[in-house]
Structure 1
């Protein structure tokens, strides 16, 4: 078996996935069909397929075959787009399931994040964000009651950003984000259909309006089944040595 041979087969299959000769979510040809097409051994095809699995391009379903994975939605950390906007702009279907919506007093930690006084009334919102009906993000969010006295379950069923900008007329300046990995708790694992302790990517985000007012503090836990992160780091300073 030639290493270069199975790599070349893998490259051809990867190109077919990229140019949609094999559409997303479609079933790949069988190993036997690929053997006949490329004139290679079964071992060569299996090694080529292993490369595609390692690149997260396909997934195997026992007793059925190998399927092309759906393209992941990309999150641009430097843009001001919300979850709904990003997913829909990239051809996906975004939806939301509300788990909790309630008023409560801000504890010291939340008050510091929102720049309000401890004990002030804030909304606590817990919701699951889905891509194509698959749970992808669990969000714990806090918003000051004083800024949004008319906030409702119906409103947050959709995009908070659209509500803040389009309905209320505020202009969002930016979102400050902190990213870290963390094993998910037993309670939070259930909405995302994960096992307790599964590693997730956590993104703490503080939303800031044009006038500097903080309007939202959210902790988002991503399962990363259908989401990937993209960062662009500008070179703003040249260091002479």
Structure 2
């Protein structure tokens, strides 16, 4: 039997589908508590589920609003592009642009703690949602983690890493704004120089082994990042 917060989340999903448009406001927490006959904690858990799915977003001090189907919102949870798209009801796909065994660029070998010019596997892909280009992804893997020849590009990369004994457990990310080059703009189907979000990620296993360096370039008009922050007690 579903938990109460899951039932509330399902009910709000139905309300959104039936009568609400993108950026419409949901009822207040107090109103939702009265409608569903549950506690504030249950309402907050239900809303948290919907935020993770990209169906709603919060504006502090204002309220909760319906998300837009045209914009995919990423939460701080460590999930793959495929998982993100499926959770939002979109169909993910990829176009493989390059797969090669190369000498690691200096910034990659440093980030992964490898000797200079160590061999790594480079996977460059265009990531799409419902056929629309969303991101360009360059992934570098030490050959000791996953050999180029053993890759199955039709399957989830993270699942292959898990089966090989290198489950991605933790990642450190840096996000910055960039302007797209002409070649990347063409691949992402936007105007040259359009704004984008560049996300650099270094991932490690449960044992702390560095197993992935990735740089993903997201269209800024189709992808956002949501972060929850708190203020430390003085």
Q: TM-score, normalised by structure 2?
A: 0.68
Q: Residues 21, 71 of structure 1: CA spacing in aligned structure 2 closer, same or farther, 3 A cutoff?
A: farther
Tell me which residue corresponds to 1:132: 130
Q: Of 158, 163, 173, which residue of structure 2 is paired with 1:161?
A: 158
Q: Please list, as runs of the form range in 1=range in 2, the aligned pairs for 1:63-78 lying within 5 A after superposition.
A: 70-77=69-76
Q: Residues 151, 137 of structure 1: CA spacing in aligned structure 2 closer, same or farther, 3 A cutoff?
A: farther
CA distance in 2, matches of 1:115, 1:72: 36
Deviation at 1:173, TM superposition (A): 2.2
Q: Please list, as runs of the form range in 1=range in 2, the aligned pairs for 1:199-210 lying within 5 A after superposition.
A: 199-210=195-206
Tell me which residue corresponds to 2:38: none
Alpha-carbon displacement from aligned partner over 1:181-206 (angstroms, at most 9, x marks no partner): 00011121121012221110111111
Q: Secondary structure at the match of 2:169?
A: strand
CA distance in 2, matches of 1:229, 1:152: 33
CA distance in 1, matches of 2:146, 2:108: 17
Tell me which residue corresponds to 2:28: none
Q: Tell me how large the CA RMSD over aligned residues is.
A: 2.4
Q: TM-score, normalised by structure 1?
A: 0.66
Q: Residues 71, 108 of structure 1: CA spacing in aligned structure 2 closer, same or farther, 3 A cutoff?
A: closer
What residue ranges of structure 2 are gaps of 5+ in the alignment?
1-14, 23-67
CA distance in 2, matches of 1:234, 1:172: 26
From the CA coordinates, give the structure whose radius of gyration is larger.
1
Alpha-carbon displacement from aligned partner over 1:106-128 (angstroms, at most 9, x marks no partner): 12221101111112110111101
Q: Of 216, 219, 222, which residue of structure 2 is paired with 1:220?
A: 216
Q: Please list, as runs of the form range in 1=range in 2, the aligned pairs for 1:1-241 lying within 5 A after superposition.
A: 18-21=16-19, 70-77=69-76, 79-149=77-147, 152=150, 155-165=152-162, 167-235=163-231, 237-239=232-234
Contact residue 101 and residue 148 of structure 2 kept, 8 A: no
Contact residue 97 and residue 157 of structure 1 kept, 8 A: no
CA distance in 1, matches of 2:230, 2:90: 29
Q: Residues 151, 164 of structure 1: CA spacing in aligned structure 2 closer, same or farther, 3 A cutoff?
A: farther
Aligned residues: 176
CA distance in 1, matches of 2:198, 2:120: 22
CA distance in 1, matches of 2:109, 2:96: 23
Q: Residues 150, 124 of structure 1: CA spacing in aligned structure 2 closer, same or farther, 3 A cutoff?
A: closer
Contact residue 166 and residue 211 of structure 2 kept, 8 A: no
